[in-house]
Amino acid sequence: MIPDFQTIMLPMLEIMSDNEEHILQNLVTQVCNKYNLSKEEREELVPSGVMSKIKNRTSWALTHLKKTGLISSTKRGVFKITEDGLIILKSKPERIDLKFLNEIPAYKSWKETYKDSHKDSFSSDKKEDDDEIVTYKTPEELLDYSYSQLKEELALELIEKIKECSPTFFEHLVVDLLIKMGYGGSKKEAGRVIGKSGDGGIDGIINEDKLGLDSIYIQAKRWDNVVGRPQIQGFVGALAGQGAKKGIFITTSSFTKDAVEYQPKNDTKIVLIDGIKLAELMIEHNVGVAIKINYEVKKMDSDYFEE
C-alpha cells in the first residue's frame, strides 16, 4: 500500500540522517524500498497522469519538512538534513506529521505569515487547526481547497525566487506585471525602468492608459525587512519632486500598520502591494508562471434530457 505523505516524513529524515545530499528520485526509490512497494504501486499515477503517486507524496513530504527547517534544498531537486532535523531525530519521535510540525515555531511562523495577510480568505466554517486535512463535505469543496493549497505554495515559492533575483530584474518584473494588468500597452510604449543612482526613489514609470494620458510612478523594494511609514513618506516626496500624483509601492516583504494607514496630505494617491499580493497578481496574470495542468469539472446538462 502506498503510504500517505505524512507517513513518509519520519522515514525521509531517517534516510537523510547520514548528513549527505540526496536527490529527489533517489529518495523516492528508497521510500519505495522501505515500504516494499510493488512495480504497479511504484508506477501508479496521480489522477492527472503527470507524476507517480509515490513521487508526488514524497515531494509534498519534502515541502513540509523544508518549511519547518528540518531539511534544506541545496539546489534544485537536492535535499539535505539540517542541524534542527538531526536534533529532532535524536529525540526519537514515533511519528512526524502535520500535527507534530505545527508544534515547531518555524512551521507555525510560515503558516501564520500567509494567514495573517489573508484573514478574509479563511472561511468561518473551516477548522482553526487545518492540519485535519479534509473538513469539506462535497468533492467540489475538496477540489477548491486543494487548489487553494497549491496556490498558496506557489505564491510562497514565487516570493522566495524573486528575493534571489537582482534588484534590476525585480524592477523589470514589476513593469512586466503592470503591463499584463492592462497598463499602457506594450513594454516599449508603456513602461520604462529607471533603477539608477540619483533616480529620486523612483524605480519605474508606466503609462496609466494606452494613450499615455497620465503616468504612474513605481518604487520596487526587494526587501526582507518590513516597509515602514518613513519609506512611504519618502516615496511621496519623490513623487512630489517629479510633479507626479500617482504611485505604486511594491515590496517582496510587507508593510507596517503605520505605513498602510498613512494618507498624504496632498492629493497624491499611493497603492501598496506586499509580497503575497504581488505573487497573487503574478499568478492571476501569468507572469513568471506557466500552466501545468488544466482540470475540467463537468456537471450534468439537464436540458439535454428534457423530452
pLDDT in tens, 148-194: 888 888 998 899 889 888 888 888 888 889 888 888 766 665 666 65
Residue 47 has pLDDT above 80, yes or no: no
What local confidence, expressed as pLDDT, does residue 192 receive?
A: 66
Count of beta carbons in the 10 Å neighbourhood of residue 206: 23
**Whole-number Å distance between alpha carbons of 71 and 62:** 8
**What is the number of alpha carbons within 13 Å of residue 22 lying toward its C-beta?**
26
What local confidence, expressed as pLDDT, does residue 77 receive?
A: 83
What local confidence, expressed as pLDDT, does residue 167 receive?
A: 83
**Whole-number Å distance between alpha carbons of 2 and 276:** 35
Residue 81 backbone dihedrals phi, psi, to 5 degrees: -70, 150
What local confidence, expressed as pLDDT, does residue 165 receive?
A: 87
What local confidence, expressed as pLDDT, does residue 51 receive?
A: 81
CATH number for region 5-112:
1.10.10
Confidence of residue 285 (pLDDT cuts 50, 70, 90): very high
**Whole-number Å distance between alpha carbons of 146 and 144:** 5
Distance of CA 2 to the CA centre of its chain: 28
Domain ranges of the chain: 5-112, 136-307
> Would you say 175 and 188 are in contact if contact means Cβ atoms under 8 Å apart?
no
Distance of CA 157 to the CA centre of its chain: 4
What local confidence, expressed as pLDDT, does residue 203 receive?
A: 80
**Whole-number Å distance between alpha carbons of 299 and 143:** 14
Residue 115 has pLDDT above 80, yes or no: no
> Would strands 269-273 and 22-23 be described as parallel, antiparallel, or unpaired?
unpaired
* Amino acid at the residue 194: I
| Radius of gyration of the chain measured on its C-alpha atoms | 24
Confidence of residue 298 (pLDDT cuts 50, 70, 90): confident
Average pLDDT value over all residues in the chain: 82
Confidence of residue 49 (pLDDT cuts 50, 70, 90): confident
**What is the number of alpha carbons within 13 Å of residue 35 lying toward its C-beta?**
22
Cell of 37: 512497494
> Would you say 34 and 92 are in contact if contact means Cβ atoms under 8 Å apart?
no
CATH number for region 136-307:
3.40.1350.10
Residue 59 has pLDDT above 50, yes or no: yes
